Amino acid sequence: MNERKRKSTIRAQLTEFILPPIDDGLVLGRSSPIGHVAVGKALSLLSTTSFDHIPIEDDIIGDILVRTAIMRKISREQLIAFVLNEIKPLMGPEEIIHLDIEVELMLESRQS
């Protein structure tokens, strides 16, 4: 008999699944495979963290979903301008871009 010898190797890289699966936000392309309603429903089921939905009238970007806590630190206009100026040139309408946002605030209080 002709015996075959087989050797198998399985490799896996494991990382912890973190809830929510989105850190700070998502930029959804106009033609992305999933829309903001479906993502919003998934987030509401997976996390207690609240996200704001910002619809965008643009040929590439359709929506921004961002953690409500981020929106307490920056204005809606600042976020939209940042996304349109910095992220839009890097993406296509079918893409979904994951955001990890760092906001640094400098506060000063003067008392007389």
Asked if residue 51 is part of any domain, the answer here is yes
Per the domain annotation, does 18 fall within a domain?
A: no
Residue 86 lies in a domain: yes
Largest CA distance in the chain: 97
Residue 33 within any structural domain of the chain? yes
Strands 25-29 and 51-55: unpaired
The answer as to whether 41 is a domain residue is: yes
Pairwise pLDDT comparison (12 vs 58), residue with the higher score: 58
Query: Tell me: the pLDDT tens digits for 53-107?
Result: 999 999 999 999 999 999 999 999 999 999 999 999 999 999 999 999 999 988 9
Q: What does the alpha-carbon distance between residue 71 and residue 3 come to, in Å, rounded to a whole number?
A: 65
Is a pLDDT exceeding 70 seen at residue 20?
no
What is the rounded average pLDDT of the residues 12-36?
84
pLDDT of the residue at 92: 96
Residue 108 lies in a domain: no
Number of compact structural domains in the chain: 1
Question: Each residue of 31-57: pLDDT tens digit?
Answer: 999 999 999 898 888 888 899 999 999
DSSP track, 27-56? EEETT-SS-HHHHHHHHHHH-S--EEEEE-
Rg over alpha carbons for the chain, rounded to the nearest Å, is 21
Q: 69 CB contacts (<8 Å, ≥6 apart)?
A: 49
> Residue 88 belongs to what domain range?
25-99
Residue 3 included in any domain: no
- Domain assignment of residue 19, yes or no: no
Beta-strand relationship, 61-67 and 51-55: antiparallel
Q: What is the pTM for the complete model shown?
A: 0.78
